[in-house]
Chain A
Amino acid sequence: MSLEVNDLNKSYGSEQVLSNFSLDMAPGEVVQVEGETGRGKTTLKRCISGLEEYEKGEVNVNGDIAHVFQDERVLPWLNVKKNILLSLQLKNEEISGEKLDQMLELARKLGVADHLDKKIDQVSGGQLQRLLLIRALITDPNLLLLDEPFNSLDTSTRSQIYSEVLEICKDKGIAVLVASHNEDLDSFVDRKISL
């Protein structure tokens, strides 16, 4: 299993957000977490990636996690390429020629190879989200958490990006947990769970 979540409980004050939540994910599986805003989709991802503590339960991840957030978390003083390579630097991984080739290949697949040397404020929202996906994928994760990262984009662009990235993840055997209340993901996901 890429991910095992057992009886996860998380509350904010008196408000119980996750109650005995369990989930298993196989490698390459794509699972969509549905639910209206405030139902705990983001909290679940934050618990899995270690950004939130939880009261009870167990989270086991087999391998590395990559997390693409709802907002665009970039360092504005770095250009696009350096923002992508940041994930490797934070992991203290060597930026080898192989990694640079991998970045370029991903950028070509996602149609943003021409934007790598640009400043962050010179790329559009859709391009930036693709570039942030590359930042996540270049770490060769076993589990990719997508926290409604494309909500600000129009439906056709969103569908196109999901199609591209989920195809890459399936090829590489990366399990993907997508939080979204959009229904345009139906054709891409293996199963859905509701919160």
Chain B
Amino acid sequence: MIERIRDFEHLNQVIFVLFLLLVVQSSVDFLPTPYEIGKEVVNYLVDPDLRSDLASTAGRVYLSTLLALVLGVIIGVADYFNSTISDIFNSLFYPTQFLSEAVLAILAIAVLGINPLVVYVITVISVVPDVFIATQEGIQELDQRILELGTVYGESKLQVFRHLVIPQMLPYIFIGGIRAHATSWDIVATVEVFLALGGMGYLVQNQFRLLNLPELFALATILISAGLLSDRILRIIKREIDRRYMHHES
């Protein structure tokens, strides 16, 4: 269920562009030409301030994804040993899956005030179920025959975990990481709009307020391209991991 909601959230970027097109449709005269958009993209890309904002957004995305990965894997593995952890986790995180990032942002600002921590809190809360679910899938798919080698030879549980469990779970954890990463781009950009702490979301908001459509389209293009490029790189790494570890049958 959570997974399905996540899949829909990946459409946020597309919905954002469609929304822009709707705005443009009502005032066709202002529709920027591809040349104008391209020119603005180039202008932005050579602008050190824009690069700094993009790096800021990307940094928040990667740090949030990393935090979600660590937290999701810890909870997922702990759930393997004690299933009540899964119940507690679901009761805490499941309701947040029905709230939009905007509502979560307002709630987080009310609790934490306006500070950069809000970006990470909201993003991690929103994406940690992706990693948790993937970790659970990985645990369910562990080859029990291989784990029996650990029972026979494994006097060190740490070594069993390192040599037998982690390599088998890695492809699944990475799937969770890719999902979390994709969703993080949406969430970080959305929350940046609310927090006005810099980053691409804040730039988009400024241009939207001023209805500078060529700049707005250029920023959206850069944001989506950066997200897709980052996603593509992760998928290439995942293919390598799958090729190496994703065949349990011996």
Contact = CB atoms under 8 A, between A and B. Distances in A.
Nearest to A88: B153
Contacts of B152: 49-51, 65-67
A193 interface: no
Contact of B155 (A49, A86, A91): A91
Interface residues of A, number: 22
A92 B155 contact: yes
A51 B151 contact: yes
Contacts of A91: 153-156, 159
Contact of B163 (A50, A65, A90): A90
Interface in A93-147: 120, 139
Nearest to B154: A90
Chain B interface SS verdict (over half): helix
A11 B182 CA distance: 51
Contacts of A139: 153
A51 B146 CA distance: 12
Contact of A74 (B154, B163, B250): B250
Interface in B194-250: 244-245, 247-250
A69 B163 CA distance: 19
B173 to A, nearest CB: 15
Contact of A69 (B145, B156, B164, B167): B145
A74 B249 CA distance: 9
Contacts of A49: 151-152
Interface string A60-91: 00000111010111111100000000110111
Nearest to A145: B152
Chain A interface SS verdict (over half): loop
Given A72-B250, A76-B247, A90 B148 contact: no
A120 to B, nearest CB: 7
Contact of B149 (A65, A76, A77, A90): A90
Contacts of A90: 149-150, 153-156, 159-160, 163-164
Q: Which of A66, A74, A76 is packed against the most chain B CB atoms within 10 Å?
A: A76
Given A86-B163, A89-B159, A120-B250, A73 B154 contact: no
B151 A50 contact: yes
Contacts of A75: 146, 163-164, 167, 250
Contacts of A76: 247-250
A71 B150 contact: no
Q: Which of B146, B152, B160 is packed against the most chain A CB atoms within 10 Å?
A: B152
A73 B163 contact: no
A74 B145 CA distance: 9
Interface of A: 49-51, 65-67, 69, 71-77, 86-87, 89-92, 120, 139
Given A75-B167, A86-B149, A90-B154, 12 more contacts: A49-B152, A65-B152, A69-B145, A71-B250, A74-B250, A76-B247, A76-B248, A77-B167, A77-B245, A86-B163, A90-B153, A91-B153
30 contacts: A49-B151, A49-B152, A50-B152, A51-B148, A65-B152, A66-B152, A66-B153, A67-B152, A69-B145, A73-B149, A75-B163, A75-B250, A76-B248, A76-B249, A77-B167, A77-B244, A86-B153, A87-B149, A87-B153, A89-B163, A90-B149, A90-B154, A90-B160, A90-B163, A91-B153, A91-B154, A91-B156, A91-B159, A92-B159, A120-B250
